[in-house]
Structure 1
Amino acid sequence: RTFADICESARNSNDNPKDFWRYQVEDIGKERRKTFSAFCEKLELDPQKDDDLATAFDYLKRTHIELFPDDHNTFSDLLTKAGFILTGEPKSAISILTTYANNNDMYRKSIRVDQLWRHLKEKHGIHPKRLEHDSRISPAIEDLQNQFFESINPGLINRKIISRGETTRIIDAIDNGQDVVVHGAAGNGKSGVLYELAEHLRQKNVPFLPIRLDTRVPGNTAKQFGQDLDLPESPAHCLAGLAEGRKSVLILDQLDAIRWTASHSSTAMCVCKELLRQTRSFRKDKKQIVIVFACRTFDLENDPDIKNLFAENSENVVVKVSVAAFSDEQLKDVIGPDAFVPLNGHQKRVLSCPHNLAIWLEIKKEEGAPSFRTATELMRQFWKNRRQHLNKAGISNPQSNAFL
């Protein structure tokens, strides 16, 4: 670590070897002086001589130390990288590469790319994956984008986007390379915020892959989940390949739906953890990919699996963006001053929930502004309106009641 710090200091210095020695070694402390002296001794250089000091300084500037701890996190990163660039099972590929270096006595010798690829192809049937050139990915992602927009668009208030400040905070986090969890009370418009985010990404030509987990439940592994979506690999792998180094965003909406819709919710949650782990591994490899989740605040605060998914430490901080109800000004802008003024304070609070507001506007469109005191009364009037539509379609009340 000390030697790596010395090399970094050499690169950040003013290119004067004497100044470097004085301010970055001598003045820093005993440990740096000892490490620098040991380095010069091994190279048979005398730092008291100007030429030797200049030579040592030149070597240090061109020396880079990258530490790979022998731990679980490093191995997970290796698995992600192997799975991204190689066909076959990642653990097997890593084992084969390790054996290749050991069995062929490759220490202190160059490993040539063409020789290594020949070994992988001819003896083990492993090939480069080259997801960035896979023609299956772009159409599949475009189809998933269209499905996402089509699933949310009918529920938008007045069938248009209502700009939310929460979307701006999400975009800022993405620009800073941070993962995000969007949360809020049921009906507060989390999916609407993600719709606005997706529209922004599309306009900015940022590759993004949106998936609604209430209709596309993950199972088995991230790779299998991708294949279930007609992708050749994990959604994170495919998106990173399509982006080719550009900023990209994986969107997972309705995370809380997993435990309500999946018979094996623990397996589905494991796939989400794998996708998050893959995304973070890609960022360590300088790929600009982030993941955005959405779930209810209740589940974020109370579900053990979801809380564990977003457990924070010094390296992995997930930005939490809370989606609030509409303010009075936003509500006024949507329904207009004439409809806003007659409402009392409690009615305004009920309609500040986008879900309730959408119901109110639907009834108002056909019957005029409904009279209500509570959200329950508003819902009853909505069901009365729906039953009228069913009756016009030839479905009797006993039939609709039996179905419900």
Structure 2
Amino acid sequence: MSSYDAADTATRVLVLNSGSSSLKYQLLDMRNGSRLAVGMVERIGEKTSRLVHTLPESGGDSSDGDSSGGDSSGGDGGRERTGRFADHAKALEAVADELAHDGIGLDSPELAAIGHRVVHGGLGFSEPTLIDDGVLAEIERLVPLAPLHNPANLLGIRTARALRPDLPQVAVFDTAFHTTMPEYAARYAIDTATADAHRIRRYGFHGTSHAYVSRRTAELLGKDPSEVNVIVLHLGNGASASAVAGGRCVDTSMGLTPLEGLVMGTRSGDIDPAVTFHLRRVAGMSVDEIDELLNKKSGLVGLCGDNDMREIRRRIDEGDERARLAFDIYIHRLKKYIGAYSAVLGRVDAVAFTAGVGENAAEVREAAVAGLEALGLAMDAKRNAVRSGEPRIVSPDGARTVVAVVPTDEELEIARQTFALIGEDRPAIA
């Protein structure tokens, strides 16, 4: 039986997210979207590596879990292994051992495919893509656009292909959802020959999350995605906004890199490009030093020394003015994007908050909406204060524009896209 024949009766997808020294994974059953295993290997290649493997409680669609990367388990509490995993191959072998221990190993005939998160797909990859040598070569060609991410993604793909060469493997790209942006939204106003020669344009990121949340928001409203215009605010340590018209992205805040747009945990977001020239000429900073400043020492941490919104709110309650200013700058930028994307969309049916901050920080949601009544936005304080893992409306009944909290689930979205790509003759997903 070929891998494709076997996959016709299989319902499980393994999702891999490979970092330079880490490997996150989830095994999902696509009959109902439930998680069979969740884990992470960290400090790969270092003297002491660590693997944490968890069996979440079985049953039900777990798509509404916390997006902040926390443990969504409720089952065995997790198993931990320490030792040295010299490379990603050794790390994935250890993951395979843990899965086999639980009777859900990589050699199971129920495993349909492996889905890989790939950060940058350029303009060539607008859909999930079955991986072959040509696809690998193109992902490698895009490394200059994502030098911190695509090489690590490639490591995970090559490792998984070596371990299961017979199994369909699918790349799901963070940039894919944003490839529907019109040229006037994607182009920078610089010399076109220079831009084309160096592939300089706005690509956008967090696309898997924006796709998932915009679709779930439409479901929350009881409508088809094609009928709904949504502003999605993905607010985590990295943060991005998107304008989604009828299920298609028409604008997004991140650009050539994830640096553009909203104020983030450690990234500056929008900034006058001349700041970089000024720092080079006047402060004598190197390109690498400026890069580190804007990506790792700016945003909330640059403004007040903290990038944890809970800690910032605690400091504000104690009267800390630096924390208050950082929060106000963060909210000001959010309001600007809500207003701008309202203009881009013309009609906004919903504003959806998601990711760690968006889902859990009621004060951020309240402040972002305050004063935007002219756009049809309002907040119900009691609804907004409720903590829940479920998609929910937090605006008052009758509001012209719905404000919603919609927990994201990028792993489930990757699994769904992978499962859909490799064949149609499958059980329906609940």
The TM-score by the shorter chain falls in which range?
under 0.3
Higher alpha-carbon Rg: 1
Which structure dedicates a bigger proportion of its chain to helix? 1
Which structure dedicates a bigger proportion of its chain to strand? 2
If asked which structure has higher relative contact order (CA below 8 Å, sep 6+), I would say 2
TM-score (norm 1): 0.28
